[in-house]
Amino acid sequence: MNQFLTQHRSSVKGVISGWDRIRFRGTIRWLATLNGMASFLRTIGVLMVQFRSWAMQITAELKNGAAQVCELKGRPVIYVASSNRRKESIAMGIAERDGIREGLICVITCVEPCHTFSVGPNAVLKQLELRQGPGKCLHQYFYFLDPQFGLMHLRLQTWLPLTIHICINGREWLANQLRAAGIGFRQRDNCFVQIDDVSAAQSLLDQQLQTNWSSVFDTLLLTVQPSFKTLFPLRLDHYWSADETEWATDVMFASSNDSV
């Protein structure tokens, strides 16, 4: 990149570097492993023979919670039969149709692969045992137009261990920051081709790195799934990590001919 910028320095009018697309993972660590889940079940007094009905009740509460939030906000819950359908396109179509400029757009549900728990017989020990492995279950996609982050979504696995993924776009986030600061800009797809104050834009990108993600995501989760407040008899906090991150550099040229 440095060699490229040196070669084209006479025609480059600005460069910014920062987050592009980011996917975060939310994990309840006590429930994330086989030993951890077994320990939790013993702590709350759930027997192996009771596990299936207990787990199904949790899933039912999450489904009802999403339905209640959508009913309260007047937003649709949409089931899609194929995980190959572009959910973001569906959500953006609904936002355009309904004139949504901020807040919850919709909840899209789909049966997709997951990693989960089950109970089965151990022939050697002649007793039921907890197992962990692949499965398929309903996932909930909450799509938003957030005033800070722009278009984003939260994906919730409705079977234990209730893994969460949150996806945001750092460039949409920057666009909102620039608007709030009154700085003019032009975008092409997910790239910036012109920014009135490049130095200020880079400072805003640097500020993104200081975000308190735990606070942001804990608040967001309870907004879309308030049932998490009472889902378990013990308080179980989420551990938030960056599952996948993209870092991008936008090079802005004085004219379109210079970029060829």
Q: What is the pLDDT of residue 72?
A: 97
Binned at pLDDT 50, 70 and 90, residue 5 comes out as low
| Single-letter code of the amino acid located at 234 | L
Q: Minimal CA–CA distance to 20: which of 196, 216, 242? A: 242
73 within 8 A of 107, measured Cβ to Cβ = no
Q: Minimal CA–CA distance to 133: which of 144, 117, 148, 147? A: 117
Pairing of strands 150-157, 127-146: antiparallel
Q: What is the pLDDT of residue 10?
A: 55
Q: What is the pLDDT of residue 185?
A: 97
Chain centroid to CA 26: how far?
Answer: 9
Query: Mean of the pLDDT values across residues 18-26?
Result: 98
186, two tokens: 């032009």
Q: What is the pLDDT of residue 8?
A: 52
End-to-end alpha-carbon separation of the chain, Å?
A: 16
Per-residue model confidence as pLDDT tens digits over 27-80: 999 999 999 999 999 999 999 999 999 999 999 999 999 999 999 999 999 999
The model's pTM is: 0.92
221 within 8 A of 238, measured Cβ to Cβ = yes
| Helix (H), strand (E) at residue 132 | strand 127-146
Binned at pLDDT 50, 70 and 90, residue 9 comes out as low
Binned at pLDDT 50, 70 and 90, residue 256 comes out as low
Q: What is the pLDDT of residue 163?
A: 98
Per-residue model confidence as pLDDT tens digits over 174-189: 999 999 999 999 999 9
